[in-house]
Amino acid sequence: MSTRHVLLGLLAAGPCHGYDLKRQYDARFPQARPLAYGQVYTTLQRLVRDGLAAVEGTDSDGGPERTLYGSTDEGARELARWAGEITAPAPFVTNEIFAKVVVSILVAAAAARTGQGGPDATAHLRAQRAAHMERMRELTALKAAPGADLSTVLSADYALVHLDADVRWMTTTTARIDTLTAEVHAA
């Protein structure tokens, strides 16, 4: 996710302080990777440097001085350009679960040659599936909670679809684990 474009999108509603942008980000993207305050302010400084945002003033409201940021016309054009781009599907699949299964099979094959025990890829897949199912239950409850806002529902749906795809892959891989293990042993 492009933090700079997300912040520009949040600024499109009107000028904001960095603290408020962080709060809006958390509310609008509840299932996304957390955004640190430092990242918000660093990104805002870069947006200002690049002419995509501008400092609109400062205030303190009885507390520490806070800088108010707003999008520029150039920022609005950049945001429109970015929002209109088609996001290419990922060219490579890099999934830690897949890597752990393959490595477990490799280590188990090496351990079998030396008469030692090794990790059990099937047991790992079962445990990972249980963790995924628990997270899916949490997300389902989150989106079904009374008063759940649309951002929460949409982000939960997005996460659920991806978790479901992982679970389906785990089921297929578990069914094929003996064949994969035999291939690794033969190599």
Q: Can you give the pLDDT at residue 92?
A: 61
**CA-to-CA distance for 7 and 10, rounded, in angstroms?**
5
Is residue 27 pLDDT above 90, yes or no? no
pTM of the model: 0.67
Strand stretches in the chain, DSSP E: 16-17, 53-59, 66-71
Arithmetic mean of pLDDT over the chain:
86
User: The tokens 């501008």 sit on which residue?
Assistant: 54
Residue 55 DSSP code: E
